[in-house]
Structure 1
Amino acid sequence: MNGPTLPAVCRHPANETGRDFVVGDLHGCVDALRYLLREIGFDGARDRLFSVGDLIDRGTDSLAAIDLIDKTWFYPVMGNHEESLIAVATGTMRREAWYAIGGAWAQTLGHDQLEALAIRLARLPLVRIVGSGARRFNVLHAEFFGSDADLDTADFSDQARTDMLWGRGLALGSVDPARQRGLSPTYCGHTPQRVVKQVGAQIFIDTGAFASEGRLTIVQPGTDERWSVKERWAASEGARELALP
C-alpha cells in the first residue's frame, strides 16, 4: 500500500479569525455531526473542527465519515479503528477480527476498495497541536504520558504509540495522572464516558455516539461549552438533509 503520509505530529496556529472545536469519536454518526454543526453555527470558512479519531465502525455511515477528511475545516487524528482498517488492508489483521470490533460494515468491500480507503486514512497524524503557550491544546485518540515537550519531539516509542491509540489506563483510573505533568489540555476519546470527563490534563470527550443511549459530543477548547446529541434524534430531526459546510 503506497500513498502520502503526514508527520506523526501536525501543528496548527491559533485560530485568529474564527472558533475551534473538538468532536468525540464519530463512529460513522455523521447525521449527529450535521445536527451539531448547525447547532453551533459552524462556519466552514472561519471555524475549524478537530477530531479525536475513530471516524469509522459501529455507526451508520463510515464511508461518509471517511469523506470528511477531504473537508478543509476538518482535522482528525488517527484512531485505533482507522489503524485496524489499515492493518486489514496490509494483511496484518484478519478481517474477522476487525469485524468483531465494528468493521462489519465493510464486508461487501473488495480488497482494492479497502486498500484505497486505507491509503486515505494512513495520512492521519497521531497528534495535532493547536496554538502555543497558554492557548495551546493537544488532540490525540486515547492517552499520552509525558509533557508537551515530549509530544513536541514527535519521536514515540512503540509503547507510547500503542498508548496513544489503544490505552485506557488513565480513563479507567489505573494510571497516575501525575505522569502527564507539563501537558497542556489534551482532548481525547477512545474510552466512552457518560459525560465529558477530565483526568489530569486529558479531557475525554467520547460519549458513545454509536450506542443507543450514547451521544456525539462537540466541545470548544478553553471554555466550558459543549454540545451533544443522540444519532437517532438527529436523524429523526432530518439531519441527513442538512448540508455539511
Structure 2
Amino acid sequence: MKVVVLASGGTPTNILVNYLDDAGIPPVAVLIEPSQSRRALLRGRARRLGRRAVFGQALFMALVLPVLRRRGASRLSYLRKVHRLRADPLLPNRVTSIRTVNAPETRELLKKLAPDAVVLSGTRIVKPDTLLAAGAPVLNIHAGITPQFRGVHGGYWALWSGQPQDFGATVHVVDHGVDTGAVLQHVRTAPESDDSFVTYPLVQLAEALPVLVDTLTTLDRVGTLPEPVPTEGPGQQWYHPTLGQYLAGIRRGVR
C-alpha cells in the first residue's frame, strides 16, 4: 500500500510516521512544509477574530504555555513510553521538503507518487486543487470530536465546555472545509488528573493511531473506506484560548 504523509515538521509527525512504520505501513514519502511564522498566524487570526482576542491568545502563549510545557514534559515522556509512541526524528532521506502543501509543485509531486492514501499531520488548510491532485482518500486525525469541536484543541474545549464525554479524536476524510469531512470513527477517551492543555493532544493521538491503521488496512484489503459515521449539524470551530479563557477554565478544574 502506497501511503504519503503530508505534514509540518515536529514531534507529532515523527510519532505518526514511526507508528505507521511499526504497523507495517511505511509511508512511501513524507512531504513536509515549513511551519507558518507566529507573526503570520497572529495576523490571520486578527482578521478572523479581532485584535482583542488575538492579544489574549498571545498573552496565553507567552505567559502560560511555557510553564505548562515544562510541567508536562515528564507526563509526555510517560505517555510516549506506555503507548509505545516513538518520537525518533525522521532520517533526512525519509523527508522531502515542500514549499507549502498547496504549491503547484506539491500537486505535481502527489500526482507522480500516485498514492493509495494520503495522511495529513499538522498542515495548513489543504485546498481543493491539492485534494484533487492526491487522487486518493486524504485522511486526518483531528484532536477533537467533530463536528462539535472543529478547529484546534478540541479535547481541551470539550472539558472547558463541561462535556468530558466528548474528549477524544476523530479519524475523518479531509474535504475543503475545516474538519468538516466525512467522519470514519470517533475515538472517545478521558485524560488523567495529571494531564493538561499540553498533554491532551498526545492522549488523543495515542487512542486514534490504531484506528487510523485499521482504516488504512481496510482500504488496502477491500479497496474502499469504512462507511462514514452519521453526524448532525455544522458544529463549532474553536481557536486557541485567550489568557482569560484559560483562567476561566482553571476555575472549572480544567488545566
Same fold (TM over 0.5): no
TM-score under structure 1 length normalisation: 0.28
Higher helix content, 1 or 2 = 2
Q: Per chain length, whose mean CA-contact separation is higher, i.e. which structure has more relative contact order (CA < 8 Å, sep 6+)?
A: 1
Which structure's CA Rg is the greater one?
A: 2
TM-score under structure 2 length normalisation: 0.28
